[in-house]
Chains A and B, each alone.
Chain A
Amino acid sequence: MPKTKQQTSGSGKLITLLIVAAFMALTIILENTMSPSSLLFTVIKKGAVYSLVAVSMNLLNGFTGLFSLGQAGFMLLGAYTYAIFMIPSDVRDSVYYLFNGSSVHFSFQEMFGAIFGTAGFGGAVSLVLGVLVAIICAGIVAAIFAYLIGLPVLRLKSDYLAIATLGFAEIIRAIFQWDKLGPVTNGANMLKNFPTFADFNIKNASGQIVLRLSAFVPVFLSAVCIFIIVLLINSSYGRAFKAIRDDEIAAEAMGVNLAHHKRLSFCISSFFAGVGGALFAMFTTMVQAKVFTSTMTYEILLIVVIGGIGSVSGSCIASLLYIAASEWWLRFLDNETYINGTRVPLLRSGFRMVVFSVIIMIVVLFFRQGIMGSRELPELLRRRPKKQPAVEEVRTHE
């Protein structure tokens, strides 16, 4: 019997949904019971943001087979779009003080505030709507740039495409630091004072926090976006993307318009990278172009590879593990430690990255396909079928 690939069953989907829901509930509970300064919440927030960006990269690299390294550039576009549209107008002058104020004179939150009011429930509605619209704008701006970049760049294949998109990300970063664009981008200076995750904590009239949602919001937003990507991957278009990945020539011969589908995948991936960029801006509470370096793209690529190229759940798990390891679990390696007065050797600032790199090498060596390979969570949870000998492939004698 040939080996079979099981279809994702209904119960598998349900289990995955339950796990995600449980994770969200746990986030809310922990955040309201534990100390809010715990590094755990940094990990959850950043992990959620990186999950989304990693999944968007996986859509392109893992499912469509386009090796692109422009993720940081699209995140930058998203982050800037979000920040520019969300800085309240009364603090704009202080943020843009080097350029005598911003050339954008409104923020989405205030626009909705004018309709729903700024205090109490109306204020919450205008915050949520403002943030949502700004996030969607962030995605759209990134997608528009992706479309324009894609016109010339998507003719390239594999490594050449990677180089071209990497170049694009670097150029975008340089342009956003350009002084002449100062009134919009604030040059090389940071944009700040826009609504962040902390603004979603629900406060009572006296300003005390009643319910903390600052870690739940990024998890929820990422989960919604990832869910949409999963829907896309499982749709007819997702199958066409996989066909392009598996065999471009066959896909074209079966009527898949390569240019159209590649562009589509590139734009959608960039849209969600832009959304991820906006969430990243909310996480870091400030935006500065110099943060979005190619190192960031490599981090995301690493997450995708560790999680398994072509596995959405792999990307999510890997990004949480990656962020937890780099931000939290290995922190102690950076601190000089003394036991009974003797200094523990090797432990000093920077040692964390050495250990981290070794761990990554070990992971890549022992999990060649990444943690999940190309499988998804439901397939992993199901009982494995007995291993059957693979049918020997009959070779052509041409």
Chain B
Amino acid sequence: MSNNILSVENITMQFGGVIAVNNLTIEVPEHKIVALIGPNGAGKTTAFNCITGVYEPTNGRVRFLDETIVENHPHGKMKKSYAGENAGLYTHVVSPTPDTITQLGIARTFQNIRLWKSMTVFENVLTAKHMRARQNVFSATFRGNAKEEKRMREETMQLLQEQGLEHHKDDLATSLPYGLQRRLEIARALATNPKLLLLDEPAAGMNPQETQELAQFIREIREKYGLTVFLIEHHMDLVMKISDYIYVIDFGSEIAQGVPKDVQNNQHVIDAYLGVVEDA
């Protein structure tokens, strides 16, 4: 029994001839904040999508709470064209749909906000509670689940209060200011009662003030809900401030890992972000 809540083992994602994620291994220890950084197009979101079941990785395995949740090996058409490593290491195919993975306790947010546009703030959070409800379609339609519905509504209200969104309860989700939309997306993810929260660029489009608040907010929710947080981010100051551990990838491959201080001074990372000066 390791203390890693999530382990990504040798994940490779190949689209046609392009390897978007190459042999990536990431360990996320319980109750820590781990960040995945890298320049644009490095394959960060692809890695997220492999973990959350949006994509089926070409090769590799993802374990969550010591259970294999995703596993694949190059098969079918990919067998011949596979250009990655560790081709023979995995033999099973486990490819659940994203909702199954959310059911297990991994919730995520999106790089470009994906709130339900026609719903209010309250409904957005309430709908995310649908998955954990024990009703069926008949009891829900004929109100046989009144108790559960009431509990869901109370929990939603409580969550909104904790996130400071209760004044916007009846506003349309898309009418909120950008920072609050991000916050709502996190609240919605929290409504699924996750153990692990994946944040895809939570500070994208935020001003420094909002970013500051976000850092505080992420720490708070980790404490309050006993979460582990795994995030992708571009804002270096945010990453350096809140992360316990950082993985850096470029062109799909890991180029560095370590605590923030080490990563900051790592020559590979600096090269990847700033470019390398070729000696004439």
B118 touching A257 by the CB < 8 A rule?
A: no
B99 touching A258 by the CB < 8 A rule?
A: yes
Tell me the B114-158 residues at the A interface (CB within 8 Å): 114-120, 123, 126-133, 135, 137, 140-143, 145, 149, 152
Q: In the complex, what residues of A have CB within 8 A of residue B85's CB?
A: none
Q: In the complex, what residues of B have CB within 8 A of residue A391's CB?
A: 175-177
The residue in chain B whose Cβ has the minimal distance to the Cβ of A395 is B205
The residue in chain B whose Cβ has the minimal distance to the Cβ of A244 is B116
Interface string of A249-290 (1 = CB under 8 A from B): 111111111110000100010000000000000000000000
Q: Is A236 an interface residue (CB 8 A)?
A: yes
B116 touching A2 by the CB < 8 A rule?
A: no
Q: How far is the CA of A396 from the CA of B102 in the complex (A)?
A: 27
Tell me the B152-196 residues at the A interface (CB within 8 Å): 152, 168, 170-172, 174-179, 188-189, 191-192
How many A-B Cβ pairs are below 8 Å? 142
A231 touching B143 by the CB < 8 A rule?
A: yes
B128 touching A242 by the CB < 8 A rule?
A: no
B116 touching A247 by the CB < 8 A rule?
A: yes
The residue in chain A whose Cβ has the minimal distance to the Cβ of B171 is A2
Q: In the complex, what residues of B have CB within 8 A of residue A252's CB?
A: 97-99, 102
Tell me the B185-227 residues at the A interface (CB within 8 Å): 188-189, 191-192, 204-205
Q: A7-B120, A398-B205 are in contact. List 20 more A-B contacts (CB 8 A).
A: A5-B170, A232-B137, A235-B141, A236-B129, A236-B152, A242-B116, A242-B123, A242-B127, A245-B118, A246-B117, A250-B114, A252-B98, A253-B98, A254-B102, A254-B192, A255-B132, A258-B97, A258-B99, A394-B177, A396-B204
Main secondary structure of the interface of B (DSSP, over half): mixed
B111 to A: closest C-beta gap in Å: 8
Q: Is B31 an interface residue (CB 8 A)?
A: no
Q: Is B108 an interface residue (CB 8 A)?
A: yes
Q: In the complex, what residues of B have CB within 8 A of residue A374's CB?
A: 118
The residue in chain A whose Cβ has the minimal distance to the Cβ of B129 is A236
Tell me the A182-236 residues at the B interface (CB within 8 Å): 228, 231-232, 235-236
Tell me the A302-337 residues at the B interface (CB within 8 Å): 310
Q: Is B68 an interface residue (CB 8 A)?
A: no
Q: How far is the CA of A7 from the CA of B122 in the complex (A)?
A: 10
**Given contacts A239-B123, A254-B192, A3 and B141 within 8 Å (CB-CB):** no
Q: How far is the CA of A245 from the CA of B119 in the complex (A)?
A: 11
Q: Is B78 an interface residue (CB 8 A)?
A: no
A231 touching B116 by the CB < 8 A rule?
A: no
Tell me which of A228, A235, A396 contacts B205 (CB under 8 A): A396
A3 touching B171 by the CB < 8 A rule?
A: yes
Q: How far is the CA of A18 from the CA of B119 in the complex (A)?
A: 27
Q: Which of A252, A259, A391 has the most CB of B within 10 A?
A: A252
B130 touching A240 by the CB < 8 A rule?
A: yes
Q: How far is the CA of A258 from the CA of B53 in the complex (A)?
A: 13
Q: Is B91 an interface residue (CB 8 A)?
A: no
A2 touching B141 by the CB < 8 A rule?
A: no
Q: How far is the CA of A258 from the CA of B171 in the complex (A)?
A: 26
Q: Is A340 an interface residue (CB 8 A)?
A: no
Interface string of B85-122 (1 = CB under 8 A from A): 00000000000011110110001101010111111100
- B interface vs A, CB < 8 Å? 52, 54, 97-100, 102-103, 107-108, 110, 112, 114-120, 123, 126-133, 135, 137, 140-143, 145, 149, 152, 168, 170-172, 174-179, 188-189, 191-192, 204-205
Q: How far is the CA of A24 from the CA of B208 in the complex (A)?
A: 61
- A interface vs B, CB < 8 Å? 2-7, 228, 231-232, 235-237, 239-240, 242-243, 245-247, 249-259, 264, 268, 310, 374, 390-391, 393-398
A253 touching B97 by the CB < 8 A rule?
A: no
Q: In the complex, what residues of B have CB within 8 A of residue A239's CB?
A: 119, 123, 126-127, 130
**Given contacts A4-B170, A390-B175, A257 and B99 within 8 Å (CB-CB):** yes
B104 to A: closest C-beta gap in Å: 10
Q: In the complex, what residues of B have CB within 8 A of residue A397's CB?
A: 205
The residue in chain A whose Cβ has the minimal distance to the Cβ of B102 is A255
Q: In the complex, what residues of B have CB within 8 A of residue A247's CB?
A: 114-117
A255 touching B170 by the CB < 8 A rule?
A: no
Q: In the complex, what residues of B have CB within 8 A of residue A257's CB?
A: 97, 99-100
**Given contacts A2-B171, A254-B189, A255-B128, A235 and B140 within 8 Å (CB-CB):** yes
The residue in chain A whose Cβ has the minimal distance to the Cβ of B137 is A237
Q: In the complex, what residues of A have CB within 8 A of residue B168's CB?
A: 2
A2 touching B176 by the CB < 8 A rule?
A: yes
Q: How far is the CA of A395 from the CA of B177 in the complex (A)?
A: 10
The residue in chain B whose Cβ has the minimal distance to the Cβ of A265 is B137
Q: How far is the CA of A394 from the CA of B128 in the complex (A)?
A: 25
A249 to B: closest C-beta gap in Å: 6
Q: How far is the CA of A4 from the CA of B171 in the complex (A)?
A: 4
Q: How far is the CA of A3 from the CA of B117 in the complex (A)?
A: 13
The residue in chain A whose Cβ has the minimal distance to the Cβ of B133 is A236
Q: In the complex, what residues of B have CB within 8 A of residue A394's CB?
A: 177-179, 205
Q: How far is the CA of A397 from the CA of B204 in the complex (A)?
A: 8
B175 touching A253 by the CB < 8 A rule?
A: no
Tell me which of B110, B118, B130, B143 contacts A255 (CB under 8 A): B130
Q: In the complex, what residues of A have CB within 8 A of residue B120's CB?
A: 4-5, 7
B116 touching A246 by the CB < 8 A rule?
A: yes
A140 to B: closest C-beta gap in Å: 14
A339 to B: closest C-beta gap in Å: 52
Q: How far is the CA of A5 from the CA of B143 in the complex (A)?
A: 24
A241 to B: closest C-beta gap in Å: 10
Tell me which of A2, A242, A255 contacts B99 (CB under 8 A): A255
B211 to A: closest C-beta gap in Å: 13
A243 touching B188 by the CB < 8 A rule?
A: no
B98 touching A243 by the CB < 8 A rule?
A: no
B94 to A: closest C-beta gap in Å: 17
A242 touching B119 by the CB < 8 A rule?
A: yes
Tell me which of B110, B112, B141, B149 contacts A232 (CB under 8 A): B141
Q: In the complex, what residues of A have CB within 8 A of residue B114's CB?
A: 247, 249-250, 253
